[in-house]
Structure 1
């Protein structure tokens, strides 16, 4: 029998709490995934009545099969993720990596800490690689979405590794330096840097990073350009340019989005979107995106991100000084037994442990963020129907649901937990009711 809870050490309490949260979260994820699979399979053989005249049975069944296949693969990913997380923490993987590097690389200083972060990232990437390849070259290929060759995938991976290294290592080095040199309030200074870096990245990404992976051409369709420009003027939105991205090189999925920040804002259309939608439908989709701008949804999300990251850094600032935080998660902190020798910093260890643990906890509040996101989508839909044709928006949504093989019959509980966008039935019903006098 376990001793009374009050008699347990903080390290043991953390170990038990982490294990319970991890296994409970996994059980909930499996329960939700099996509900989704059963619900979609049960409704596979009949198109929902509101869509019977516009969606073929074959398209509906393809969406059902695609959803079920992805859910089953997701269950495998969840199980593997749980095992890997336990391996890194309670089973001693991170401790083993840290002790190996501590004894033979960098003398326990900045280089050792950067090597620990890089080693963790490399091993994690290799573990994730097989399922990532299976997702792209088996699942997406089977349903006709993958357009990537192995060569293009390798080129993307190498570019991503290079960009990640060039940006990630200096950022990590500065954060580690702040943790060691900025005193007890290092977490506040680090938070300020992190927020500034993210805002800078929003400005830099569209112009310098995204073009490394995709080609962006100015929108050449003069009729669509005139219609889109007039819409943006009506909505009070200024963009640096209208661009078409070669999304078809990698996938048949279609999308449109805003990117950038401040004067660097761009409107980007996937070439697949322009091929699938009529001019009025493209305008309606853009009006929906402008609805997010008009309701300040992006600003709200940035503010929430700022607030949550501040809370996270403050919490990290506290737990990083507690020995039980390390030992309770299966790691021996860097403590020198020789008084004449300084202990190696624990900053990289604290960062990695915190990044591993936080998703386990935040999973339980994720439905709140999904709910807020769905509300934002309804508001953007309402705005779009006031600025463009509601019929065009409905038609565009159905085309996108069909072309992206999005199921029209998701499990309602699964939707409430995970969906950032409302299901098609709810979106179209809301638009219809708002259009009815």
Structure 2
């Protein structure tokens, strides 16, 4: 039986929590908006009544199916992991422990996918009805299968690493496993653009021309080293407009969606790219990775404390495959509970990138036009419930971003906006 030292678990948790707080205070921009907090722009000043009705109708349906899917998935995970009957399904898995772990992960993930598949289908039908995708059902199913396989593989690797640490260092494993999870997060951020992104998109270099030249000039102005500018064939899956800068070090590249290049004027495209280059300039990928690594320490420490309590009550230990659904249930609960924290941090970082993009391009009109087009094409809810935005909103709303552009324009006109 694996019995970690309680003091090790407590210290691991405390170190991870302190590191997270210090990194968040140090690296996260908590007051990125010049002039203080913003009030979103009036919806009627940006969209017509028909456009607002269409976006809000879709958002209501999307929330219904998404939140129902989340609730059902969480309920299944909790039944499998927190009840004796649920865990009994995993008591007779074949093979050694390193075979049983991925089998248990696959069983949990596939069961959760099966029970939530009807909601995914209903949401996709809504997206088709509203013209948000032209992807065929077959291609959609292939992407869904790829996502499930990727989730199973990555989750299995993480749990195998934790269990291997627990078997090798029976009393100190929380600290070692937490550090190992942190390393995996950092390594994953580095290899993701090379190993994972090509599974879901095809990339081609952006041809030489005025747009590529302008993007490289933006990168030079921002002091960002970019290895390449690629175009992703995202239009086969979505009408949403986007771009991103992925990786860091030797894997950094700007990726623009093909519909962004084809459908928007160049000044609006550059507004999107400037936002993404701001993320790279501030090292936001590394910031997220470091916060994730410190979160791994907290998770390992708390996990050991919870499992020790469960074990004392006759529950599974880390050598029992029945611990896999328990761990996955705890992860699902923790992810939901901590969503307000992670999404609040994300919104602050996104806002800083918007501010930097507006300062770099000095073109608030292009920024506003781009945000308007993004809202029309993706049908993002222009006025989500406040609690929903706090809990699930990883980005500021489109109307908030438009208000930011209006403020930056006023500050520049008044001569009070710092360079």
TM class by smaller structure: 0.7 to 0.9
How many Å apart are 1:221 and its aligned residue? 5.3
Note if 1:304 corresponds to 2:304: no
Aligned counterpart, 1:77? 69
Q: How many pairs are equivalent? A: 369
CA distance in 1, matches of 2:120, 2:312: 32
Note if 1:173 corresponds to 2:138: no
1:321-341 alpha-carbon deviations (Å, 9 max, x no partner): 3345765xxxx426xxxxxxx
Aligned counterpart, 2:27? none
Q: Is the 8 A contact 1:60 1:402 kept in 2?
A: no
Which secondary structure state, in structure 1, belongs to the residue aligned with residue 132 of structure 2?
coil
How many Å apart are 1:164 and its aligned residue? 5.4
CA distance in 1, matches of 2:355, 2:166: 46
Change in CA separation of 1:212 and 1:95 when aligned onto 2, cut-off 3 Å: closer
CA distance in 1, matches of 2:212, 2:267: 12
How many Å apart are 1:351 and its aligned residue? 4.5
Report which of the two structures shows the higher radius of gyration computed on alpha carbons. Answer: 1
Among candidates 299, 312, 325, match of residue 352 of structure 1: 325
How many Å apart are 1:217 and its aligned residue? 0.6
Q: Which runs of 4+ in 1 moved over 6 A?
A: none
Correspondences of 1:1-400 after superposition (within 5 Å): 48-51=43-46, 55-101=47-93, 105-106=94-95, 109-136=97-124, 138-160=125-147, 163=150, 169=156, 172-220=159-207, 222-324=209-311, 332-333=315-316, 345-346=319-320, 348-361=321-334, 363-388=336-361, 389-400=363-374
Change in CA separation of 1:166 and 1:78 when aligned onto 2, cut-off 3 Å: closer
How many Å apart are 1:68 and its aligned residue? 0.9
Tell me how large the CA RMSD over aligned residues is.
2.6
How many Å apart are 1:209 and its aligned residue? 2.9
For structure 1, the residue ranges without an aligned partner over 5 or more in a row are 1-46, 335-343
CA distance in 2, matches of 1:89, 1:191: 22
For structure 2, the residue ranges without an aligned partner over 5 or more in a row are 1-41, 415-419
CA distance in 1, matches of 2:405, 2:292: 30
Aligned counterpart, 2:379? 405
> Normalized against structure 1, the TM-score is what?
0.76
CA distance in 1, matches of 2:146, 2:73: 25
How many Å apart are 1:382 and its aligned residue? 1.4
> Normalized against structure 2, the TM-score is what?
0.79
CA distance in 1, matches of 2:190, 2:353: 24
Structure number with greater CO (CA < 8 Å, separation at least 6) is 2
Q: Is the 8 A contact 1:284 1:384 kept in 2?
A: yes
CA distance in 1, matches of 2:102, 2:382: 46
